[in-house]
Amino acid sequence: MTSSSKPKSSNAMWGGRFADGPDAIMEAINASIGFDRRMAAQDIEGSRAHAAMLAAQGIITDSDAEAIREGLLTVLSEIETGSFKFSTALEDIHMNVEARLRELIGEPAGRLHTARSRNDQVALDFRMWVRDQVDAALGGIVALQKSLLSQAEAGADWVMPGFTHLQTAQPVTWGHHMLAYVEMLGRDHSRFADARARMNESPLGAAALAGTSFDIDRDATAAALSFDRPSANSLDAVADRDFALDFLSAASICAMHLSRLAEELVIWSSAQFRFVALSDRFSTGSSIMPQKKNPDAAELIRAKVARIFGANTALIMVMKGLPLTYSKDMQEDKEQTFDAADNLMLALAAMTGMVADMAPQKENLEIAAASGFSTATDLADWLVRTLDMPFRDAHHVTGSLVKLAEDKGCDLPDLDLADMQSVHAQITEAVFDVLGVHNSVASRTSYGGTAPSEVRKQIARWKEKLQ
Ligand code: ARG
C-alpha cells in the first residue's frame, strides 16, 4: 500500500459512536486477527466460563447462557475445521468470535460481554495460551532429559577429555558430561514450573480496568479455567504481561542451554574431533562436496536462542514505558511470543531426536582423553599426597615434567622413571598408577565428581526423578 485509501462508509464494530469506518491503513496497523486467531480455543473457553458464571449469578438467563454455550461450540468447530471466515474489519479474535456468535444465535450473543471487556479477555486468553506453552516446554524438557540420561547410562564409565577454554583439562566420563545437561535442563524445568505457579491467576472479571458493578463470581471462573485464584487487583490484571516475560526469560535460558549443547555437537561431529557421529536423520549433505555430513539441526538450534531472547527483549521494551493500565502497544506482545514458543518447542524436539540418535565414538573419546597431558593434575596430586609436597611446589614440578614430555614428543605416562627422577629424585614407580585416564576418573569420587561410581548414583537419582 502506498497511500491511504478512502474510509469505509460505516463502522463494523463501534457503529454507535463512529460515523466513519477506519482508513485502510488504520485497519492494517490495528488488526491483530492475522495472528491472535491462534488464541481462538482459549478465547472460546474463557467465554464459556464467563457465560456460565453470568447465568449462575442470575446476570443472564439460563436459556441465554445455553444458547451462548451451543453457539460458541459451533464457532469453535468452524474454526477447527477451517470453515470460519476471519474478518480484518473485526480487528481481533475476540470480535470475530462474538460477531459470528451473533450471526448464529442472535440477541443472546450481545449479553456475553456483560461485566467483561476485551482488556480482561485478552489478558485471560493470552495467559492461558502461554500457560499451555509452559506445559509443552515442561514436557519437552523431560523428554530431552530422558534422551541424555540414556546416553549417560550407556557410557557412564567411558572416558573423554574435559575442557576448560576448549583446552584439554582433565579426563572426565561421558556419562558425567551428559548429566551436566540433565542438571541444566532440570533448572530450566523449575524455572518454567515457577513461572507457571506465578502466572496461574485469572484476570477475568477485572473488566476494562476497574472491576464491575455486576455481582460476578471471579472464584468460579478462575476455578472453571484451572487457575489457582483470581488476580487481586483489577488494574494490574489488565496491565500485566509479566507472565509472558517469565515464559520468555525461562525460554531464553533454556534455549541458551540447548545452544551450548548444539555447539558441542557441532565441534564433536567435526572430522578433527570425531567424538560423535550424528545420524543421517538429523544431518544434511552438501550439494557440492560429497563427503560432507553437516550438523544443520545443531546449528539451527544454536541460532534459535537469538530469536527467543529477541522476543524477550522486544516485550520488555514494549512494556517498559506504558502507564497503567492497558495500552494498544500491548497487542505487540503476541507475535514474538508465539514465534519464540514455536521455536523453543522445535529446538527441544530436534535436540531430543539428535541426542537419542547420536553415536558417541568410544575409542576416539578415549584416545583424546589420554592426550594433551590430561592427567597432569593427577600427577601433582600424587606428589602432594605421597611426598607431602605443598600443592604449589607440586604444580611446579609437574609443569617441568610436562615440559620434558613435550620436548621428548611424548605424553606423561610415556616418560620413564629415570626421566621423572631427573626432575624430582623422590618420585617412584607408583606414580604411573595415577597417570592412566581410567584411574584418573575413578579417583574423582568427591560428591558430584566424574568417577563412574558417582555418575551411576546421579543416574539413579535422575531416573527416579524423571519417572
Ligand atoms: N487485540 C487486542 C490486543 O491484542 C485486544 C484488546 C483490545 N482492547 C482495547 N482496549 N482496544 O491487545
Segment 235-262 mean pLDDT = 98
CB of 176 shorter than 6 A to ligand 1: no
Q: What is the DSSP letter of 58?
A: T
pLDDT computed for residue 14 by the predictor: 77
Reply yes or no on whether the pLDDT at 1 is more than 90.
no
Cell 568417577 appears where?
451
pLDDT computed for residue 82 by the predictor: 97
Q: Which of 165, 213, 287, 446 is catalytic?
A: 165
Confidence bin at 419 (pLDDT 50/70/90):
very high
Could you give the CA distance from residue 449 to residue 170 in angstroms, rounded to a whole number? 12
CB of 93 shorter than 6 A to ligand 1: no
Reply yes or no on whether the pLDDT at 7 is more than 70.
no
User: Does the active-site annotation cover 286?
Assistant: yes
CB of 92 shorter than 6 A to ligand 1: yes
pLDDT computed for residue 219 by the predictor: 98
Q: What is the pLDDT of residues 311-353, one digit of tens each?
A: 999 999 999 999 999 999 999 999 999 999 999 999 999 999 9
Which residue is closest in CA terms to ligand 1's atom 10? 119
Q: What average pLDDT does the structure give for the chain?
A: 95
Could you give the CA distance from residue 422 to residue 109 in angstroms, rounded to a whole number? 95
pLDDT computed for residue 461 by the predictor: 98
Reply yes or no on whether the pLDDT at 8 is more than 60.
no
Could you give the CA distance from residue 39 to residue 448 in angstroms, rounded to a whole number? 44
pLDDT computed for residue 4 by the predictor: 46
Which residue from 243, 211, 246, 250 is spatially nearest to 227, judged by alpha carbons?
A: 243
Q: What is the pLDDT of residues 378-390, one digit of tens each?
A: 999 999 999 999 9
User: Does the active-site annotation cover 165?
Assistant: yes
Handedness of CA 204, 208, 211, 217 (dihedral sign): negative
Q: Is the peptide bond before 352 cis (omega within 30 degrees of 0)?
A: no
Reply yes or no on whether the pLDDT at 117 is more than 80.
yes
Buried b (16+ CB within 10 A) or exposed e, 191-228: bbeebbeebbbbbbbbbebebbeeebbbebbbbbbebe
Reply yes or no on whether the pLDDT at 66 is more than 50.
yes
What does the CA dihedral 214, 215, 216, 220 come to, rounded to 10 degrees?
A: 180
- Per the rule left: phi > 0, alpha: psi between -120 and 50, beta: everything else, 207 is left
Confidence bin at 17 (pLDDT 50/70/90):
confident
Reply yes or no on whether the pLDDT at 12 is more than 80.
no
Confidence bin at 3 (pLDDT 50/70/90):
very low
CB 46 within 8 A of CB 206: no
Which residue is closest in CA terms to ligand 1's atom 2? 331
Segment 242-246 mean pLDDT = 98
Candidate of 331, 335, 336, 337 to mutate for ligand 1, largest count of ligand atoms within 8 Å of Cβ? 331
Buried b (16+ CB within 10 A) or exposed e, 34-53: ebbbbbbbbbbbbbbbbbbb
Could you give the CA distance from residue 447 to residue 458 in angstroms, rounded to a whole number? 10
Confidence bin at 166 (pLDDT 50/70/90):
very high
Q: In whole angstroms, how far apart are CA 444 and each of 151, 158, 326, 364, 449?
A: 21, 14, 57, 22, 5
pLDDT computed for residue 289 by the predictor: 80
